Every structure is written in structure tokens, then in C-alpha cells.
Amino acid sequence: MVKDLPTIYDAKSTEEEIYKFWEENGMFKADAKSQKPPYSIVIPPPNVTGVLHMGHALDETLQDILIRYHRMSGYEALWLPGTDHAGIATQNVVEKKLREQGKSRHDLGREKFLQETWTWANKHKSAILDQCKRLGASFDRSRERFTFDKGCSDAVKEVFVKLYEKGLIYKGAYIVNWCPRCQSAISDVETEYETEQGHLWEISYPLKNEAGAIIVATTRPETIFGDVAIAVHPDDHKYSELVGKTVVIPLSGREIPIIADEYVDRNFGTGAVKITPAHDPNDFEVGKRHNLKPIWVIDGEGKMKACGEVPPEFHGLDRYEAREKIVGLLSYKNFLLRTREHEHNVGKCQRCNTTIEPLLSEQWFVKMKPLAKEAIAAVKDGRIKFIPERWEKNYLGWMENIRDWCISRQLWWGHQIPAYYHNQTGEMVVAKENPDPENYTQDSDVLDTWFSSGLWPFSTMGWPDTNSDDFKKFYPTSVLVTGFDIIFFWVARMITMGLEFTKKPPFPTVYIHGLIRDEKGQKMSKSKGNTIDPVVIIDKYGSDALRFTMTSLCTYGGQDIKISDERFEYGRNFANKIWNASRFVLMNLEGVDNEEFDFSKLTIVDKWILNELNNTAKEFNENIKNYRIGETAHIMYDFFWNKYCDWYVEIAKIQLADDSLKLNTQRVLRYVLDMSLRLLHPIMPHITEKVWQLIPQKSEFKAIMLADFPVWNEKLSYPKEAQEMELVFETIKSLRNVRQSFNIPMSLMFDIEIRADKNEKSTFEAIEAYIKRLAKVDKISYSDSTDAPKKSAAAVVSASKIIIPLENLIDFNEEIKRQQKKLDKLIQEKNSLTGRMKNEKFVQNAPKELIEQTKSRIDEISVQENSINDLICSLKA
RNA sequence: GGGCGUUUAGCUCAGUUGGUAGAGCGUCUCCCUUACAAGGAGAGGGUCGAGAGUUCGAGUCUCCCAACGCCCACCA
């Protein structure tokens, strides 16, 4: 029984029950053979290392809203879920686990380690998607994918080989960002810079066979054993005598030349730079220009190399220990002339925050410039749009200055590079399969995890089989929804790869939302301990509450969103409001038939609410089509709470008590509830489904999630009645105001006398019952009298006056003050408006409607002004 | 060094073509009125960061400045 439904909405049990209902009925499954137009989204695949965090919750909610909206709007909607193998991140986690057991990956060996990681990945692969169920995610789990599964791996090989054959992938020795902890190269975008307080040491390099020295400033004295030259600017007169001479490296004694190169900034430090091509990107370039052979002095673990160039006492020392020892020795031997504080930016590994070591090594790269061309064009010519637009600039700026992408990683967990080397000759073959396993060994490096993510929109759809049903039906996808933090990592690469391999942009729109932050605006992170767990929020407030709150906080500009636990009360309270309003309607639907309401029997209030509903549906559709998703939440909140609940439901109580209106009112109540639930469903799927199922009405739809989404309907447009209803609202609000101002309890009914304007009298008569009930009025009388009312409060509404005789209840001085205050406000407004009308240029330039509007407002104010003046006079008398 | 964002009520923030500012929370009154106290009714609260300009009219457009935040580049 409806009466037995609790007055507090039980989100937890409802959400569980409803999700099960959808899932068991296979309602999330998309049909590639459907005749309906396609609408598809591929999920930004979460890492298998992670658990659901607030960022996912927002991202997934927005996607689910779009998917559910389009599903209801007649599209064949596919939301394809999946996860990312997340190369370094996952390997780090598994290695950490091993370390706790006192083991390293090398103790296990590659094969065993991979087995271990697969087990781990398989265990966690579904965990995060299972958590998404709590959000109500309507994705198609039958199509779940993993960046490391067979299909995605085949796509990776296909792409690698094709790019290699086109000359767009090459292998070579360059300076890369090397993480000594991960012991792998990482790409430029995986390197984050932090400002650190360091030192600038000035070191003296004595000239060979003569007196004198050159003084060099460096932040990295530990690399001096790798120096191959000292460089000065060619035009620097200070040093012109020295160019071409030879100096001796302190502590090691190796001899190196002084060279001239324009790279040197004369104004920085001493104007002389030590050149260490193996450990600095700029020095590498200088070294190449001058044909200087690089010397490695730091190894992959960040330790001093045990080689001839490095004095034995430093062998195996950590780079920072070595730095300290070298500085000490330099100082002791008087090579160190000065030490200065120096603030500089230091590269850190995105995954483990270890300081990056620029290291010369042999790696695989993707030549980006040729690929970027089309990726730039697609955004410039509008085939791909970013929302908000400003991200286009960001994307283009990066793309136009793009550098080659280092794609090889010295890891085990990832797609192994499909290059094979002959065991004897070393000859290299790049192919999807090993040409001859007997004699060829595969490259031991794996690919950057973003290489496979970059193929995600099509590798998940069956590509390279372009004839697969999914690829034909659902590719390109309809939109990409993500945060701005992965535009370079992911979005740019999907666009590049999508265009190169499918000749189509993988999506026409990139919808970028803000990032979730804590209440102080700080990024949420485990180390800061300021994270909010979405599952905890769902347990406490409900999934719909979480979704509604987050959605309402989304702005079109994609601003970051600050949240705190309590903010979710907003959505929870709204869910509860929906629940209770629904309970009321359902309780009052007993005995109603299945017919739609009778247009001929609609009252002014019925027409008003239908008109409002209609406008709301129109606005909802317009807003969501323009990705103003936050706005959809606001208009639904306003419509449902402030219009349907606060006014229509209250007035419906009066109509339900009237036998001649009862049935049609029931039908309107039901209709508006039904449509409201449909409008709310994309944002709050569970509660709307639950309530909708309780509505006693046969429907052609099995579930609200499959019902038609409301659109604008000419037949429900009643602008005239909507206008007339203003009189109801104004009258009731003024009467309530009077009541409150004089502390008249609701239990005390009073009579009113309406001195109606002749155009408004019939409307007042039509709405008498509403005024009586909602303003607690006993009797209403009409009068044409212009006499001063005696000892009354009064309200001026539109062009009419309402007199409230309250002889013993009010202080007339207070009433005079009250009226005076209103009068002052009106006069102020009138002055401003008449001032405007006196301005000739305004009258000349302003649009006609505005002038008309201004005129009629002035007239209106004049009438009200007179009325109030009369009132004040009579009160004073 | 270059670019972007933010600055509006006590707090958190909306504000689409320029027409004279809104919401939620909080505050103050009153109310258990038969859907809802996670509720209802009423009220108070802002010279829209500073300055200049365009315009009949600027929170909204232009310029400049300031504070805070972010991104990119990076000189050892």
C-alpha cells in the first residue's frame, strides 16, 4: 500500500533493487543491428590499480546522464565500459607487494612476474566497474574491454607495425626522462616539474699546462666526470682568449676542450657551462654539434657508474651522496669558489615522484609532427569541438609545438614491442608476429600505456576489423567526456590515432568538466588525507543524491568543483522531496482510470502547471544538447519543488475535494508526475524508476529508462493562463506577508474585501477557492468603493486592492511603516524608469518591446502608488 | 618567460546574444496546516576585485592593474 511507504526515502534498498531490475532485464545492452540512430560513448578506462574516486563519480555520472537521455530520446545508446592496464602504475603496485615479501621482480623473472600481475589485474579489473554500479551506471557490461586484452593487443600491434612501415616510429639514442626508481624511460608529459631550493656551485677548471682557470656554474656537480667540454658564448669577450684551450676536470684529471656555442647564456652564472651530453638534453645537442662523444657517469638506478671516467671512490654511490662528497672534495681542494642558493625546477616522475634523471639511452619514438597535422586540422576546421571552447587553444598550443613521443618503457607489464632481433646478426624485424622464434628474440621493452589507450575508441569496437557490427554502428563515438588533466595524455593521442587509422575523428565533441576538489579547493589525494569516498557518500545519502548534487555543481565553463560531505544533503533533500510528493500523488490516485486528462476540463491551475512542465521539457532538451548539464539539474529542482510541489500540489488538494474536478485533477497530477520523473530520470535514475513503477497506469514501456523522453508539445502551451496565475501568487503572497508581519496565527482566518480592477475581477472570482485555502481567508467580498478603508491592513496586487479588516489585531503605525516601505521601493523604481524614458537616446535606440515594457511598468507603478498613498492617508486619518 | 582561469549576499557558487542581479546553505520570525521538520510560510542581506573606456544603458564588451589558482616552456 502506498500509505505504508516510509516518509523518509530509503535510497539504499531502492537503489539496489532497481539496479538489479535493469540488469536482469538486460536493459543496458546495446543492439548493433538496431535501426535507431546510434549514440555511443566509450568510458575513459579507469586504471586497474584504482578504486572509484570522486573524479570518476562525476565523470561517470555525466556520461550516464547523456546515455540515459539519448536512450530515452530514441537513440540506440551504447556506453562501453572497460579498464586500463596502466603499465607503470600497476607494475609499481605489484612490485610494492613483492617488496613487502622481501622480493623484487627480478627474483621472479619476467614470466612469473607477469603471471603475478595478471592475477592481480584480473582480481581488480572489475572492481571499479562494480563500484560504478552503485552510481547507477547504465553501461553495457557484455562489451567490457581491457586495454591489455586480445583485441586491444592486436590493435596495438597493427598500429605499431603500420606506423613503423610509414617511418613514423623509429628507434634511436636520445636524452629521455629516466626514472631511477621505476628504472624506465618516461615521456615528457609524464614528467612534472616542481620548484626546489637548490644550489649553484661555481667550480674552477684549471687550464692545462698554464696558469689560470675557467669558472663554471652548475647545479649538478656530480656529473662533472661526464663533462666532455666547457662551453662559452662565441661573442663573449671575457672568454674569447680561452676558446680552443684545454682544461682539466677537477678530481678526475681528464682533459676537455673549451668550445664556443651560442646556446650559452652569457648573463647566467659565470657565462661558462660544463657540457655533459649523456645527462642533459641541452648538452646533448651541444655535444652533437661539436662531435663530442657522450660519457655516461650515472646509471639507470641513479648511482655513479663504475667506469674509468669516474674515480673509484665514487663507484656505486647514489647520485645525491656523490654530489655531497664531490662538493666536499672540491671545496677541500679549493676548486669550489662559491656556493649560491638557487631556485630551480626539477623534473619528477608522475607515478612515484622520484627526481627524474635526464639520460641518454636507446628508445623507441613516435614521430609526432606529421601525425599532428591532421589532428590540428580536425580541431581547427570544427570536425572536433571542445566544450568549453578554451581547451581548444590549450590543445592546439600543445599540438603545434609537439615533440616526439617516447613510447618504450623498460618495464614488464605492458604490450611488448613487436620488434624482433636475430640472435646472431642482430638484424631487426618489425612485425605482428615473431618471424622465426628459433632465431629471433623479441625486444624486451613494452609500450607506454597511453599507446593502447590512444586506440581505445576503435580498438574496443572490433578494429582493425572495420566490418565488425559494433565498428560500423557505433564508431565514431558521439562524445568524449573527461577532465582537462588528461587532454595531452589521452585526448590528443586518441584524436591523432583515430584520424590516422580510421580517417575519422573518434568523436565530434570533447566535453571537458572540472576537477573535484576538497572544500578548501585543494586537489584530493590519499597522501593529503582529504579524499571523499563516493561509496561512503552513496551509503550515507544515496546514489541519486550524489549524482544530483554533483550535476548541479557543474557549470558550463567547466570550473573545478569543491565538495564536502555536507553538500550532498542538497541532493538527498531533493530526493526526499520527490519521494514525498510522489507518495502524496500516489495516495490520491486510488480509483483513477487510465485515461489521459480531459483538455476541456482543465482549470487555470492545471493549464498553468502543464504550461510550466512544457517549458521545462523544452529547456531541458535545449540545455542538455548544449552540454549545459548543470542547468538541467537547476531547472528540474525549480520546476519540481517550487512549482509542482509548492503550488500545484497544494492547489490540487482543493480540486481533489471538489467532485466535479477530482478525476481530471488526479489525471493531471499523475501526468505531471510521470513527465517530471522522466525528465529527472537521466540525473536521478533510481528514485524515478522506483516511483514510476508505482504509478497505477498501464504503460507501453517496461521501465522509465526505456520510456520516451518529454519534448515540447504545442498542445500544452497556455501562456495566457500562466500569466493569469501571477494574480494568484501575488495575492496569496501578499496576504501571507500581512499575516506574518502582524503575527496573525494560521489558525485565525480573516475576511478580505477585494476592490478589483474591472479587468481582473473575473480572474479573482475564478481563483477564490485557492486564495481562501492557501491564505487562510474566510470570506471574500467585492466592492467598487473608493472610500478610505477603516482600520485595515491592505495589499496592492496588480491593479487591484485588497482590504483586510483587522481592527483589533494590528498596530496601524506598523502598517503605515510597512506600506511606506513598499511605496519607497516603488518610487525608486519609477524614478529610475522615468529617467530612462526622458533620455531621448534611450527612446531612439532601445528595442520597441523594452520601451513598451518600461511604459507599462511605469503605469502599473503609478496605479499602485496611488493606491498605497490612499491607504496611508486613510490610516493616518 | 608565455597562456588560461577565478574575483558577485556571511559561506559555496549560478548568471547563453549588453536592458539594471539569483540559488543552495547559514541568519532572523512564525508554524507539527491530513506528502514531506531531510518540511511549510515570511523576512533580512550585494556600490558584482580596483580603475578607465565603448554605449542611451555594462556583472556581461574593450583596455589596464591587483590578488589567488592552474597549465606550458625552462638558463647550466
The secondary structure of A247-278, three-state, reads EECCCCCCEEEEEECCCCCCCCCCCEEEECCC
Express as a percent the part of chain A with pLDDT over 70.
100
The answer to whether A8 CB is within 7 Å of strand B is: yes
A244: left (phi over 0), alpha (psi -120 to 50) or beta: left
A170 CB-near residues (< 8 Å, 6+ apart): A364, A365, A367
The answer to whether A832 CB is within 7 Å of strand B is: yes
Statement: residue A833 has pLDDT above 90: no
The answer to whether A596 CB is within 7 Å of strand B is: no
The answer to whether A818 CB is within 7 Å of strand B is: no
Do the Cβ atoms of A275 and A287 come closer than 8 Å? yes
Q: Give me the A residues in range 723-782 that sit within 7 A (CB) of strand B.
A: 733, 736-737, 739-741, 743, 745-746
Across all strands, nucleotide nearest A347 (CA–C1'): B74
| Average confidence (pLDDT) over A810-833 | 83
A104 CB-near residues (< 8 Å, 6+ apart): A95, A98
Q: What is the ipTM of this complex?
A: 0.96
What is the per-residue pLDDT for A1? 67
Report CA(A560)–C1'(B68) in Å, whole number: 15
Report CA(A390)–C1'(B63) in Å, whole number: 21
Do the Cβ atoms of A625 and A644 come closer than 8 Å? no
Closest CA to B19 C1' — which residue? A850
d(CA A488, CA A245): 46
b/e sequence A794-825, b meaning 16+ C-beta within 10 Å: bbbbbbbbbbbbbeeebeeeebeebbeebbee
Statement: residue A304 has pLDDT above 70: yes
The answer to whether A584 CB is within 7 Å of strand B is: yes
Q: Tens of pLDDT along A488-534?
A: 999 999 999 999 999 999 999 999 999 999 888 888 887 788 888 99
What is the per-residue pLDDT for A415? 97
DSSP string, A300-329: TTSBB--STTS-GGGTT-BHHHHHHHHHHH
The answer to whether A279 CB is within 7 Å of strand B is: no
The answer to whether A74 CB is within 7 Å of strand B is: no
pLDDT band at A795 (very low <50, low <70, confident <90, very high): confident
Q: Give me the A residues in range 470-489 that sit within 7 A (CB) of strand B.
A: 488
DSSP string, A805-836: E-TTT--HHHHHHHHHHHHHHHHHHHHHHHHH
Phi, psi of A40 (to 5 degrees): -135, 145
d(CA A560, CA A370): 34
A620 versus A251: the higher-pLDDT residue is A620
What is the per-residue pLDDT for A838? 86
Across all strands, nucleotide nearest A276 (CA–C1'): B76
The answer to whether A281 CB is within 7 Å of strand B is: yes
Report CA(A824)–C1'(B57) in Å, whole number: 23
Q: Give me the A residues in range 197-256 that sit within 7 A (CB) of strand B.
A: 217-220
pLDDT band at A543 (very low <50, low <70, confident <90, very high): very high
Closest CA to B13 C1' — which residue? A553
The answer to whether A378 CB is within 7 Å of strand B is: no
Mean pLDDT rounded to a whole number for chain A: 91
Q: Tens of pLDDT along A557-610?
A: 889 999 999 999 999 999 999 999 999 999 999 888 888 999 999 999 999 999
| Helix or strand holding residue A297 (H, E) | none
Determine the 3-state secondary structure of A688 from DSSP: helix
Statement: residue A115 has pLDDT above 80: yes
The answer to whether A354 CB is within 7 Å of strand B is: no
Report CA(A725)–C1'(B2) in Å, whole number: 57
What is the per-residue pLDDT for A784? 85
Whether the upstream peptide bond of residue A370 has omega within 30° of 0, thus cis, is: no
DSSP string, A694-709: HS----S-SSGGGSPP
The answer to whether A654 CB is within 7 Å of strand B is: no
| Average confidence (pLDDT) over A29-49 | 96
Across all strands, nucleotide nearest A850 (CA–C1'): B19
Across all strands, nucleotide nearest A519 (CA–C1'): B12
Across all strands, nucleotide nearest A577 (CA–C1'): B36
d(CA A633, CA A548): 7
Query: Quick one: cell of A562?
Result: 569543491
The answer to whether A576 CB is within 7 Å of strand B is: yes
The vertex-A661 CA angle with A659 and A664, nearest 5°, equals 125
The answer to whether A856 CB is within 7 Å of strand B is: no
Q: Tens of pLDDT along A61-84?
A: 999 999 999 999 999 999 999 999
Q: Tens of pLDDT along A734-750?
A: 999 888 888 888 888 88
What is the per-residue pLDDT for A594? 87
d(CA A65, CA A479): 12
The vertex-A123 CA angle with A118 and A124, nearest 5°, equals 100
Across all strands, nucleotide nearest A587 (CA–C1'): B35
d(CA A56, CA A352): 22
A632 versus A308: the higher-pLDDT residue is A632
Report CA(A839)–C1'(B53) in Å, whole number: 21
The answer to whether A836 CB is within 7 Å of strand B is: yes
Report CA(A485)–C1'(B70) in Å, whole number: 10
Report CA(A570)–C1'(B41) in Å, whole number: 21
A542: left (phi over 0), alpha (psi -120 to 50) or beta: left
Query: Quick one: cell of A110?
Result: 619476467
What is the per-residue pLDDT for A121? 93
pLDDT band at A787 (very low <50, low <70, confident <90, very high): confident
**Nucleotides of strand B within 7 Å of the protein's CB atoms:** 3-6, 12-16, 19-20, 23-25, 29-31, 33, 35-43, 55-57, 69, 71-76
Interhelix angle A150-165/A492-502, rounded to 10 degrees, is 70
